[in-house]
Chains A and B, each alone.
Chain A
Amino acid sequence: MNTQTAPAAIPIPRMPPTAPAPVRAPAQAVHGLIVVDENRCKGCGLCMGACPKHIIQFTSYFTPRGYHAAELANADACTGCSLCAAMCPDAAITVYRATSFSKS
C-alpha cells in the first residue's frame, strides 16, 4: 500500500457551540412572558405573524449569527398563549405564564 504522510491538519472553522439561553428571569410577569434564544433565532418573523397581540418585533441589533432576532415589545400585554412558540421553526422561544393566571 502506498501511503504518504498526510499534510498537517487544516483547522476547519466551526460555529461556536450553542450555549443554553440564559433565562432573563427571575422576573415577574403580569400574565405571560416569552424569552427568545438569540442563538437559535433566525429572524424569520413567523412568530410575529402568529402573535394575536402583535407585540413581537425584531431587535434593532444583530445577533452573533447575523440575524435580527425576535423580541417581546410589550411584556405587560403578553398572555403566554404560546402561538409564537408553536410557529417557531427553531424552537427558540420559551413561554412562561404567571402562576396566578395558569389554567392547569
Chain B
Amino acid sequence: MIADSNLKIVYEKPRALVDVVSHYCPGCTHGIIHRLVAEVMDELNIADRAIGVASVGCSVFAYNYFNCDFASAPHGRAPAMATGVKRAQPDKIVFTYQGDGDLAAIGTGEIIHAAARGENITVIFVNNAIYGMTGGQMAPTSLPGMKTTSSPNGRDTLTTGMPIRMSEMLATLDGAKYVVRRSVHDPAHINKTKKAIRTAFENQINGVGFSLVEVLSACPVNWGMTPDAALEYVERDMTQYFPLGDFKGSAK
C-alpha cells in the first residue's frame, strides 16, 4: 500500500537485479531474461546462496547486474568453471548464463561434458542466432540465409552447415535432467519461460540434476530490425527451425 492512496504494487523491479542501468541495446531480450532469472531468485529466495558464472558475449557484464556472488569465465568455459564452483561449494546454487557463441561454438565441449556428468547446475542459454558483442557475426545457430557481418550474402549452408540444435543434442545425454526451449517474444511466452527457469533452479535445489533452458531471443540492432520486428522474426522464423518444447524432463 502506498500511503494516502488506494494503490498497491503489483509488479516492481526484482531485488535480485542491481539498481543500475544495463548496457544492453533497447529492445534486447537479454534484459527480459535477466529480469526473469532475478524474479525467480527472489521467489525462491536464493540470491544469498547463489554463485553465478558469467560468460563472454553481450552478457559478459552479468556480474554487474545480479545481486549475488559472481565469477567470470573465459569464453565457452563457464560450465567447466561452474563445475569447479559446485564441486567446491555443493550447497550453493550455481548457474551459468551463456550466449550462442559461448555455448554452441567455443564451449560445445564444456557444456556437453557438464551435462553428461550430470553436474547439478542451472544453465541459461540465450540463443539470438548472432554474435552481438563483436558486431554481428554469424553464429552456429544463425538461420540459413541470415545476413550477418561474416555472411554478408546470407548464410550459405553448403560451406557453413546448418544451424545446431543444442537442446535436442544435450537432451540425449543421461546426465541432463531438464532441457527445454522457450521464447520471449510475447508476454504469454515470457511467462512460460519464467516457469521453465524456475523449474531449472528448483531442480538444483532439489538435487534433480543438470537443467538447461534455451531461450530464443532477439538482437534488433545486429539483425537490422526494430525491436517489434525482431520479436516477430523470433516468433515466425526462429521457432520453425528451433521448435519450442520440452526435450528432457517436464515443466511444472
Contacts and interface: CB of A to CB of B under 8 A. Distances in A.
Interface residues of A, number: 44
Given A18-B21, A46-B231, A89-B24, A94 B31 contact: no
A92 B17 CA distance: 12
A91 B14 contact: yes
Given A40-B21, A45-B228, A83 B187 contact: yes
Interface in B17-43: 17, 19-22, 24-32, 35, 38
A90 B19 contact: no
A82 B6 contact: no
A103 to B, nearest CB: 10
Contacts of B190: 86-87
A96 B2 contact: yes
Grouping DSSP codes into helix (H, G, I), strand (E, B) and loop, the A interface class, with mixed when no group exceeds half, is loop
Looking at chain B, what size class is its interface with the partner chain? 35 or more
Interface in A34-62: 37, 39-40, 42-46, 49-50
A15 B17 contact: no
29 contacts: A17-B20, A18-B21, A29-B6, A33-B7, A37-B13, A40-B21, A42-B26, A45-B227, A45-B228, A46-B228, A49-B228, A80-B10, A86-B190, A87-B190, A89-B26, A89-B28, A89-B35, A90-B22, A90-B24, A90-B31, A91-B31, A91-B35, A94-B9, A94-B11, A95-B9, A96-B10, A97-B10, A99-B8, A102-B8
